[in-house]
Structure 1
Amino acid sequence: MNDDTVISQDAINTAVWNACDTFRGTVDPSIYKDYILTMLFLKYISDIWQDHYERYQAAHGAHPELIEELLKNERFVLPRSANFRALHEARHQPGNGERIDRALHAIEEANLGKLRDVFQDISFNSTKLGDEAQKNDILRHLLEDFARPELNLRESRVGQLDVIGNAYEFLIKNFATTAGKKAGEFYTPPEVSQLMARLMAPQEGEEICDPTCGSGSLLMKCAQLIRSRTGRRHYALYGQEAIGSTWALAKMNMFLHAEDNHRVEWGDTLRNPKLLDADGRLRRFDVVVANPPFSLEKWGHENAAKDPHQRFRRGVPPRTKGDYAFILHMVETMRPGTGRMAVVVPHGVLFRGASEGRIRQVLIEENLLDVVIGLPEKLFYGTGIPAAILVLRQNKVDDKVLFIDASRAYQDGKNQNLLRAQDVQAIIDAVQARQPIDKYAHLATREEIAGHGFNLNIPRYVNTFEDTATADLPAVRAERLKLKEELAELELKMAGYLKELGYD
C-alpha cells in the first residue's frame, strides 16, 4: 500500500477491530479493551512523530541538532526508545510487556503536563495476559497487528480527518455493545451526544463541564460544535470521572483530539468533587452536560446532609437512587446568568414521589426546569429502558415547561435503536419553536404541572392517542346485507351442484 494513499475511517475501524482477535478467547473484553486503545494511542503518536521527523530531516538533514530542537516543540515529545517502531523491531525478543510499559512511562514523563498518571492503571506486563510465554506471544501478535499498512496513521495519509478520535469512539461503542452494562456506563451513543450538544448550543469562550465524563465523547461533541461554527478552539472543557481506566481513556481521547485546553479529574463527583475554584467552592460553568449512571445505589447518601457545598439543600435524594444527586450537583455548578444543563435520566426521575417529588417541585418552583424530552427505548448500551433528557436553565424565556414525546421516532435496530438525523432535528425544531405540536409537544404552565402534583410523566401532558375513525353504521349494514345475499346465492348454487351429483 502506498504511504500517501488517503486512509478511510472504515479501514482503520476494521483493522483495529481485527486486532482484537489477538485477545479473543484468552482475555476478557473488559480487560483487553484498555490494551487495544492504549496501543492505538501509542501507534498514532509514533506515526505522527515519524512523519514530522522525516519532514524535518528532508529540510534540515545537515543540522541534526536543529532537528532535535524542532522535535522538542511538537505538541508531544516522543523519546526514541518509546517509539512504536522500536517496540515492533524487538517483538521476537523476550520481555515485550516490560518494554511496552517502559515506553509508556517514558512518554508520560516526557509529557507530564498532558499525560500525568494516565498509564498508571495499565500494565502490558501483567499476569492478566497469561504466563510469560503466552503474554510475550500475545503482545508480539498485537504489535504485528498495529504494524499493518492499513494502520499507517501518518498525517500524509490521515489528512484533516479526525480518524483517531473516531476510531476510539468506534471501539468504545463496540466494546459497550459486547460487554453490556459495565461498558455502557461510560458510553453515550453519538446521536444522543450530538442532540445534547445542540440543545446546549455552546458558544465561543464558554466553559463546558461533564461531571461524569466517561471517555469524554459528550464534551468533545460540544467542542466540535463550536469549532464547526467558528473554526477556532476558544473554549475550555472540564470533566470528572470515577473509574480510573475510563479517566485514562478520556485523557488520551482529549490528547488525540488536540483538546489541550481541558481539565479532566479522576474521582467520585458526588463524594469528592474536584472541579473547584481558588476558594475551594464548586466551580461554575456555562454548559453542564452528563449521562450519569442510572439510579446508582451507593452514591454517598450517608454524608449528603452535611455536604460542604450544600448541593442537597433542596432535599436529600433516596439512599438507593442517586439520580437527583447528580442533577442537584449539576444545578449547583451552572453559572448564574448563562448557565444551562442537559442530563440523561431514567423515566422514574419524572414521577417518583417522596424526597424526589419534593426536589422536583422545588426545581420547578425556582423556574429552572425548561424542557423534558422522552427518548425511544433501547438507545443506550446496557439497558433497554427508555430514557429522558432534562434541560434546565438559569435564564428561561418564560415560566413554562416544554414536554416533547420523541419516543416513537427512531430507526429500529436488531439490538439497539438509533436516533436518525431527522429525529434529532425534529426535537431541536420543537425546542426552538417552544409551541404545542399535536401528539408531539406541549407547553405546560406551572399551574398545570402543580395540578398534576408536580408529576412530569410525559403522557400526562402529550396526548399521543390515535382516534379511530367513527364507524359508518348505515354503510356497515348495507355491506352486511350485500354479503348475506351473496352467501344465499352461493348456497343455491351449491345445492344445485350437489343435486346433479346425486346428493339430495
Structure 2
Amino acid sequence: MSEDHKKQLEQQLWNIANTLRGKMNADEFRDYILGFIFYKYLSEKMDIYANTILKPDGITYSKINEETQTGQEYLKAIKEEALIKLGYFLKPSELFSAVAKRGNHKEVSLEDMAMAADPEVEYQTKSNFILEDLQAILNNVQNSTMGTESEEDFDNLFEDLDLNSTKLGKTPNSRNEIISKVLGHLNKIDFKLEQTELDVLGDAYEYLIGKFASGAGKKAGEFYTPQEVSMILAKLVTTEKKKLKSVYDPTCGSGSLLLRVAKEVEEVNDFYGQELNRTTYNLARMNMILHGVHYRKFDIKQEDTLEHPQHRGERFEAIVANPPFSSNWSANQLFMSDDRFSQYGKLAPKSKADFAFVQHMVYHLAENGQMAVVLPHGALFRGSAEGHIREYLIKEKNYLDAVIGLPANIFYGTSIPTCIVVYKKCRENPDDILFIDASEHYDKVKTQNVLTQANIDKIISTYRERKTEDKYSYVAPLGEVAENDYNLNIPRYVDTFEEEESVDIGAVATEIQNLDTDRRENDELIGSFCKELNIKTPF
C-alpha cells in the first residue's frame, strides 16, 4: 500500500511542478516547488504536534481564535513547546492549508494552472491576493527561531522563493494567480505524516530532486549524485556497521547522500555536511528536516570546504563524497602548514583538486572509520604531486582499501568514466588492495548508462567478500602496487582483455574453394535455363 501511495504521490507532485516548467529552467522551478512542499510539510508537522498538545482540552489547533486572550495564551504555550520539539513555530493562520484556502475560491484544473503561468493572459478571478501574506509567513518561520538552538538551521531557508519574480508572471496579479493555484493543488495531497513509520514524502522529495537533476544538464552535478552511486557509497561505508556515531559529506549538495547512508544502518547519531552553493545548501537543510532528521542531529554549513573548512578538528565514523571532478582550488602554499595537507609534503595542483578533497576527508576520518569518494579516472594514474600524494597514502599510511571502476556516462552533466576509492585507517586486510572493474556492467536507458540492482549487489558482495574474479576483480598484494609505482589504473590489475577466436586459415581456404565450386555449378545451371528460354545469360 505504501509503495502505491509513494508512486501516486511522486506523480502528483511532478504534475504540479510542471505547471511552472514552461516559464523557467529546471533549477529555477525546482526551488519554487520544493520550497512550497517544504512549507506544507512544516505546516502539517506543526498542526499534528499542536493537536497532540491540545487533545486533553478537546480542541484543535486550526480552531484557536488568535484574536482572543485565551487563544493568545494557547499560542504562547504551544510556541514554547514547538521551538524545542520542532525548532520553529507557525500560527494557525500561517499554516499552509489556511493560506491555500484564502488564495483559492474555485476548483481549478492542471490545464488552467499551466495557462495561468502565461503573463500575457488576463484572468477574471476572485482569488484573494496572498503574495504579501505568504512572504511574511515564510519570513516568520525564520523569525520564530531567532535566539533559539535551531536558528542557524532555519536561517534564510526560503530565500530562493522570490515571489516577486517576473518569471512567475509580469504582474503581481498573474504571479498571485499561479502561486495560489499551485498551493491549492498541493493542499489536496495527503502527505500522511501521521504514519511515522513511513517515509513516503521523503522518498517522493528525493524522486523530485532526481527528476530535476535529469533536466538540469551540467548544473545537476552541483547538487545530485545518481541514486545508484549513492547506494554503493553508502553500502561501502556501512560494511559491518549497524549504528554510526556520525556521517560526513564535505560536498553534500542536496544532502541526499548523507540520507542514503542512514538507510543502510539502524541509526545515525549525527549528520555533518558542507556545501559551497547557497541555494543547494538551503535545499540540503530542507531535505534533512523533511526526512525527519531533528535539527539537533544535523550540522550543515555553507562555505568552500577546501578553503574554509567548517568542521575543523572533528572526526567522523563514515565519510562519503562526490566532489566536483578536477575542479580548481587555490593550492595556496599557506596550506602546507594546514594539518590536512602538511604531512604529505605536496599540495594537489591548482587545476585538479581531487586529491585535496581526499586529503581533507582522510584528515576528518575517525580511526575506526571508513570513507568512499567518487573520483575521475585520471586521479588513479596522474603523476607529479598527485602521484606523490597517492604513494604516501599507500606506502606510508596504508589507508587505501579498494578501487572500484564505474561505467562511463552514469553522472548527469558529464560522460567521463569515474571510480570509487575506499580508504580506512584501520584495515582488516593491510597486505593488499582490492580492484574491481565494473565499467562494463550496466544497462542503457535512452542516452544514460544506469547501474541495475544486480550490478550494485555484485560490486558490494565482491568488496565485502574481497574476492578475485576473472575479468572483474583482483586482490593485489601491496608489493605489486609498489612495482607499478603506485599507479592505480585498473587495467594494470584486472585484465578484461577478451582474446579473439583463432582463425584456421586452411579451413577458410577450403571453404572459399567450395564456395567457388558451388558458384560455377550455379552459373552453369542458370546458363542452361537461359539457353532453353533463348535469352542472354546474366554473366
Q: Would the TM-score normalized by the shorter structure come out above 0.5? A: yes
Q: Distance in 1 between matches of 2:245 and 2:258?
A: 12
Q: Distance in 2 between matches of 1:110 and 1:6?
A: 36
**Partner residue, 2:216:** 179
> Structure 1 residue 385 and structure 2 residue 416: aligned?
yes
Residues 248 and 272, structure 2, Cα contact 8 Å, conserved in 1: yes
* Stretches of structure 2 lacking an aligned partner (at least 5 in a row): 65-69, 104-125
Quote the Cα distance in structure 1 between the aligned partners of 2:271 and 2:215: 30
2:255 is aligned to 216
Task: Report the Cα offset of residue 236 of structure 1.
Answer: 1.6
The aligned residue for residue 100 of structure 2 is 88
- For 2:484, the equivalent position in structure 1 comes to 452
Of residues 320, 327, 346 in structure 1, which corresponds to 2:376? Answer: 346
Superposition deviation, residue 60 in structure 1: 3.6
Corresponding letter in the other structure for 1:384: S
The structure 2 residue matched to 1:244, chosen from 272, 278, 282, is 278
CA distance in 2, matches of 1:174, 1:123: 19
**Per the alignment, do residues 10 and 303 of structure 1 end up closer, same or farther by CA in structure 2, a change over 3 Å counting?**
farther
- In 2, Cα distance between equivalents of 1:49 and 1:235: 24
Aligned partner of 1:493 in structure 2 is 525
Aligned amino acid, residue 213 of structure 1: C
- Quickly say closer, same or farther: Cα 1:454–1:30, change in 2 above 3 A: same
1:244-283 matches, within 5 Å, as: 244-260=278-294, 261-276=297-312, 282-283=313-314
**For residues 94-148 of structure 1, what are the alpha-carbon distances to aligned partners after superposition, in whole Å with 9 as ceiling and x for unaligned?**
653332222122223334534431426324333354442332223222222312x
Of residues 15, 20, 30 in structure 2, which corresponds to 1:18?
Answer: 15
2:174 is aligned to 134
**Equivalent residue for 1:204?**
243
Between the two proteins, the alignment pairs up a number of residues equal to: 486
**1:350-371 CA-partner distances (Å, limit 9, x unpaired):** 1112211111111121211111
Contact 1:60-1:67 within 8 A present in 2 as well: no
Summarize the alignment of residues 386-425 of structure 1 with structure 2, pairs less than 5 Å apart: 386-396=417-427, 397-425=429-457
Answer whether contact 1:357 1:455 (CA < 8 A) is retained. Answer: yes
Matched, 1:168 2:168: no
Alignment of 1:364 with 2:394, yes or no, is: yes
The equivalent position to 2:157 in structure 1, one of 119, 125, 129, is 119
Deviation at 1:438, TM superposition (A): 0.5
SS at match of 2:404: strand
Q: Distance in 2 between matches of 1:128 and 1:303?
A: 46
Is the contact made by 1:81 and 1:103 (CA closer than 8 Å) also made in structure 2? no
Aligned CA distance change for structure 1 residues 329 and 55 (closer, same or farther; 3 Å): closer
Cα distance in 2 for partners of 1:134, 1:250 equals: 30
Q: Deviations over 1:361-408 (max 9, x none)?
A: 111212111111110111111111121000011012123221111011
Match of 1:143 in 2: 183
* SS of structure 2 residue aligned to 1:316: coil
AA aligned opposite 1:79:
K
Whole-angstrom distance in 2 between the partners of 1:30 and 1:426 = 34
C-alpha displacement at 1:154, in angstroms? 3.4
CA distance in 2, matches of 1:470, 1:50: 74
Residue 78 of structure 1 aligns with which residue? 90
Secondary structure in structure 2 of the residue aligned to 1:171:
helix
Task: Quote the offset at 1:15 in angstroms.
Answer: 1.7
- 2:142 is the alignment partner of 1:103: no
Alpha-carbon separation, structure 2, partners of 1:484 and 1:435:
53
Q: Tell me: CA distance 1:183–1:128, structure 2 relative to 1, closer, same or farther (3 Å).
A: farther
Shift of 1:223: 1.0
CA 1:21 to 1:424, structure 2 compared with 1: closer, same or farther past 3 Å? closer
Displacement of 1:452 in angstroms is 2.4
Give me the whole-angstrom Cα distance separating, in 2, the residues matched to 1:465 and 1:67: 74
Counterpart-to-counterpart distance in 2, 1:345 and 1:70: 49
The correspondence of residues 456-475 of structure 1 with structure 2, limited to 5 A, is: 456-475=488-507
Structure 1 gaps of 5+ residues are: 228-232, 277-281
Code of the aligned partner of 2:385 = S
Deviations 1:188-209 (A, max 9, x none): 1111111111111144142111
Report the alpha carbon displacement of residue 453 of structure 1 after superposing the two structures with TM: 2.7
The 3 A distance-change label for structure 1 pair 120 and 307 is farther
Q: Which residue of 1 aligns with 2:33?
A: 36
Q: Secondary structure at the match of 1:301?
A: coil
- Measure, in 2, the Cα distance between the counterparts of 1:62 and 1:302: 62
Distance 1:36 1:322 in 2: 34
Question: Contact (CA 8 Å) 1:79, 1:106: kept in 2 or not?
Answer: no
Matched, 1:438 2:470: yes
1:291 to 317, 322, 331: 322
Q: For the residues of structure 2 that align with 1:205 and 1:355, how far apart are their CA atoms?
A: 34
| Contact in 2 for aligned 1:118/1:251 (Cα 8 Å) | no
**3-state DSSP class of the match of 1:392?**
strand
Change (3 A) 1:358 1:394: same
The offset of 1:71, in angstroms, is 7.8
Tell me if the contact between 2:472 and 2:494 (Cα under 8 Å) persists in the aligned partners. Answer: yes
Q: Flag the 1:361–1:61 CA change in 2: closer, same or farther, 3 A.
A: same
Which of residues 155, 161, 166 is equivalent to 2:193? 155
**Percent of matched pairs sharing the same residue:** 35
C-alpha distance in 2, partners of 1:203/1:467?
A: 44
* RMSD across aligned positions (CA): 2.7
Cα distance change of structure 1 residues 475 and 71 upon mapping to structure 2, 3 Å threshold: farther
Normalised to the residue count of structure 2, the TM-score between the two structures is 0.83
Shift, 1:62, TM fit? 6.2
Aligned in 2, Cα 1:334/1:443: closer, same or farther, shift over 3 Å?
same
Higher mean displacement: 346-355 or 73-82: 73-82
Kindly provide the CA deviation profile for residues 72-106 of structure 1, in whole angstroms up to 9, marking residues without a partner as x: 64542432232002211332666533322221222
For 1:141, the aligned partner's letter is: K
Instruction: Decide which of 480, 492, 495 is 2:512's aligned counterpart.
Output: 480
Query: CA 1:321–1:312 in structure 2 vs 1: closer, same or farther (change >3 Å)?
Result: farther
Kindly state the Cα deviation for residue 6 of structure 1 after the two structures are TM-superposed: 9.5
3-state SS of 2:257 partner: helix
